[in-house]
Structure 1
Amino acid sequence: MRRRDFIQKTALTSGAVTLGGTMAYSAPLTMVAKHKFNLKYAPHFGMFKNMSSNDLIDQLNFMADQGFTAFEDNGMMGRDVAMQTKIGETLAKHNMTMGVFVVDKGGNMANTLAAGKKENVAIFLEGCRKAVDVAKRVNAKWMTVVPGAYDRSLPIGIQNANVIEALRRGAEIFEPHGLVMVLEPLSDSPDLHLQTSEQTYLICKGVNSPSCKILYDIYHMQKNEGHLIHNMNLTWDEIAYIQVGDNPGRNEPTTGEINYKNIFKYLHEKGFDGVVGMEHGNSRPHKEGELAVINAYKEVDNFL
């Protein structure tokens, strides 16, 4: 018997759980029917490890069983080639779309492209070249890029120009392969160079390449600028990827202040057929918390 079948059959004899808040679930914990979602929501490793197992392929199989049609993994470049290949094969078997992984340039704050230093750009470009090989193994299209920290010794316009120049060189690596680096403005530190959708839009226009677009992370943008749908409208032609997390807490939708049902309805009406990355934590531990995540997405996806 396959491990996930054993887990699911065993769960049929487990006790029921009632979830607090706006949702209640009174059936056995893992007795969850496969759901048909309206958007390509993408979980990540660890999100459902208690309802599946610690094995990464078991987790991917479980995601597919629940109806998720996409997947993302920030740390994909750090996995060995054999595991990357196996992940790619499993995604293909389930017809799941591979979402973003992070281009390895040394961390969000490190090797800032804003400084215009040749050694920093060289590290970034080497990461881009390696990312092409990883993308081929897992059939990925999008890779996350964070330009790094401010260089306080330079005017912001000069920093933006330095970032644009470096990204143009990165785009030259990705374009022949049909790959897209998506720039992510973040709220993690006031020292990050890229923080708003407006600035990211300007940089994408400056790079002027189909291989350089915006990753609009709704959690970060709620913290940094708000007016989410308005700002997505303003920058829509450069947005290629969406990530989500509720605020405060950066957990699943329905746990904070963001009206995700309305936002997902907006994305659907715009005809967005890309990936919506579930880049957040679980608000509760164990199987109960994992089930709460699944039920939260069913709730906010019910916008038609």
Structure 2
Amino acid sequence: MQRRNFVKSTFGAAGLSLTGAAVSSDVVASSWHSQPNFLAKNNFKLKYAPHFGMFENSAGKDLIDQLKFMADMGFTALEDNGMMGRDAATQEKIAKEMTRLNMVMGVFVLDKGGNSQNTLAAGKPEFVDIFLNGCKKAVETGKRVNAKFTTVVPGDFERNLPIGIQTGHVIDALRRGADILAQGGLTMVLEPLSDTPNLFLRTSDQTYEICRAVNSPSCKILFDIYHMQKNEGHIIPHIDWCWSEIGYFQIGDNPGRNEPTTGEINYKNVFKHIYQKQKAENKEFIFGMEHGKSQKGTEGEVALIKAYVESDSFTV
């Protein structure tokens, strides 16, 4: 289905009249302006970054069409965890279209960084070499797609070693990686995760401590609100405590890891808090939409956009 037909038939039929949605001639044909219920381009307060595939029912499988649809809906950033796995020509094509659409690139995952097979906590030279080679390749990808951030996960615990020794190994490896990334204008954002208790990096305060020890502007925290709700809760205070080391945010409600408004996290309050803090310090974070959809098909995509309009409607 074509993007414009989707906006007309699906959003209109769904009867969505969303407060704050502004009409854009780039999105809605003039013949549709007389319809009372449709979704037009949103003026979001924050830089929300969808992934490829998130609006595939609306825009089709072509990546460039998906980018255009995201921009039509008001999203001003993109995340693509698998960007390093795409060929150079595709990377350059994506970057060119994003420039045309005035969109910015969010994170991509650093390929073959620390993981269960080559955890940085072990301190093994061969594992560190794999990570450092990944950093060099990430710099090349970052330059092609105009990226400033790459996601790094140190890997699993090395449980035969004391925790302090493991932490030292991780810090040493990350210092070397940060030096490589800094030369290419990239920042690694360390992501504490809740997927398995075997993962070395689990909480925001632990990640804060490591970032302070690495002591580089190219090593910051990826504060994934979904994972941190599961592992530690107390979201807004943790954001405040770690604020100086946070480089990036990701989104997902809990339980379910779907769009905001589907779980227990009050995203409207969280977004408002971050918005006010970043405005006071003249910062601007990207918010990766690293989650699923609570409903299937085009209806799920309508619901997702509606959830972001609702959560972004905080007053300042």
Q: TM-score, normalised by structure 1?
A: 0.92
Quote the offset at 1:95 in angstroms. Answer: 1.1
Looking at structure 1, the residues matched to 116 and 144 of structure 2 have their Cα atoms a distance apart, in angstroms, of 28
How far does the alpha carbon of each residue in 1:3-45 deviate from its partner, in whole angstroms, 9 at most, with x for none?
84xx4136535672368xxxxxxx99x9420000000000000
Q: Say whether 1:66 aligns with 2:63.
A: no
Give 1:17's aligned residue: 14
Give 2:22's aligned residue: none
Q: Say whether 1:287 aligns with 2:287.
A: no
Give 1:8's aligned residue: 4
Give 2:151's aligned residue: 144
- Secondary structure of 1:194's counterpart equals coil
Q: Does the CA contact (< 8 Å) of 2:114 and 2:154 recur in 1?
A: no
Q: Does the CA contact (< 8 Å) of 2:149 and 2:189 recur in 1?
A: yes
Looking at structure 1, the residues matched to 61 and 185 of structure 2 have their Cα atoms a distance apart, in angstroms, of 33
- Residues 88 and 13 of structure 1, relative CA distance in 2, 3 Å threshold: closer
Q: Can you give the 5+ residue segments of structure 2 that lack an aligned partner in the other structure? A: 17-33
* Residue type of the alignment partner of 1:269: Q
Looking at structure 2, the residues matched to 129 and 221 of structure 1 have their Cα atoms a distance apart, in angstroms, of 29
* Residue type of the alignment partner of 2:312: D
Superposed, 1:167-206 pairs within 5 Å as: 167-206=174-213
How far does the alpha carbon of each residue in 1:150-191 deviate from its partner, in whole angstroms, 9 at most, with x for none?
000001111010000000000110112221000000000000
Give 1:299's aligned residue: 310
- Which among 129, 151, 162 is matched to residue 136 of structure 2? 129
Looking at structure 2, the residues matched to 84 and 11 of structure 1 have their Cα atoms a distance apart, in angstroms, of 28
Superposed, 1:7-46 pairs within 5 Å as: 7-9=3-5, 12-13=8-9, 16-17=13-14, 31-46=38-53
- Which among 263, 277, 286 is matched to residue 288 of structure 2? 277
Q: Does the CA contact (< 8 Å) of 2:181 and 2:218 recur in 1?
A: yes
The CA RMSD measured in Å over matched residues stands at 1.8
Q: Does the CA contact (< 8 Å) of 2:114 and 2:152 recur in 1?
A: no
Quote the offset at 1:240 in angstroms. Answer: 0.5
- Secondary structure of 1:51's counterpart equals helix
Give 1:165's aligned residue: 172
Superposed, 1:223-302 pairs within 5 Å as: 223-271=230-278, 272-302=283-313
Q: Does the CA contact (< 8 Å) of 1:76 and 1:84 recur in 2?
A: yes
- Residues 107 and 80 of structure 1, relative CA distance in 2, 3 Å threshold: farther
- Residues 257 and 13 of structure 1, relative CA distance in 2, 3 Å threshold: closer
Looking at structure 2, the residues matched to 240 and 227 of structure 1 have their Cα atoms a distance apart, in angstroms, of 19
Give aligned pairs, total: 292
Q: Does the CA contact (< 8 Å) of 1:251 and 1:283 recur in 2?
A: yes
Looking at structure 2, the residues matched to 186 and 121 of structure 1 have their Cα atoms a distance apart, in angstroms, of 21
Quote the offset at 1:110 in angstroms. Answer: 2.9
Q: How many percent identity over aligned positions?
A: 63
Looking at structure 2, the residues matched to 16 and 236 of structure 1 have their Cα atoms a distance apart, in angstroms, of 43
- Structure 1's consecutive aligned runs of 4 or more residues displaced over 6 angstroms after TM superposition are none
Q: TM-score, normalised by structure 2?
A: 0.89
Give 1:24's aligned residue: none
Looking at structure 2, the residues matched to 248 and 178 of structure 1 have their Cα atoms a distance apart, in angstroms, of 36
Looking at structure 2, the residues matched to 10 and 206 of structure 1 have their Cα atoms a distance apart, in angstroms, of 50
- Residues 13 and 113 of structure 1, relative CA distance in 2, 3 Å threshold: closer
* Residue type of the alignment partner of 1:8: R
Looking at structure 1, the residues matched to 9 and 212 of structure 2 have their Cα atoms a distance apart, in angstroms, of 57
Which stretch has the larger CA shift, 293-302 or 269-278?
269-278
Give 1:101's aligned residue: 108
Q: Say whether 1:47 aligns with 2:43.
A: no
* Residue type of the alignment partner of 1:297: Y
Looking at structure 2, the residues matched to 167 and 248 of structure 1 have their Cα atoms a distance apart, in angstroms, of 32
Q: Does the CA contact (< 8 Å) of 2:223 and 2:250 recur in 1?
A: yes
Give 2:28's aligned residue: none
Q: Does the CA contact (< 8 Å) of 1:8 and 1:31 recur in 2?
A: no
How far does the alpha carbon of each residue in 1:176-232 deviate from its partner, in whole angstroms, 9 at most, with x for none?
222100000000000000000011011101100000000000000000000001011
Looking at structure 1, the residues matched to 128 and 221 of structure 2 have their Cα atoms a distance apart, in angstroms, of 20
